[in-house]
Amino acid sequence: MKKFLISFGGFLILLGTGGIINHISMAMKAVKEEQEMYGGSIHLMVIQMTGSTIGPYISCIIGGGIIIAIAFFLSEYQKRSELTSELIQVLSQQRSSHHVPNKSETSTLQEISNEIDATVSSSKSKIKSQIDISANQDNERYYWKG
pTM of the complete model beyond 0.85: no
- 140: which DSSP letter? S
Q: pLDDT tens digits for 117-136?
A: 778 777 777 776 666 665 55
Report pLDDT for 66: 95
Q: Report the distance separating Cα 116 and Cα 120, nearest Å.
A: 6
Identify the burial level of 15 via C-beta atoms within 10 angstroms of its C-beta, where 0-12 means exposed, 13-18 middle and 19 or more buried: middle
What are the extents of the domains in the chain? 1-77
**Amino acid residing at 5:** L
User: Which whole number is the average pLDDT over 39-64?
Assistant: 81
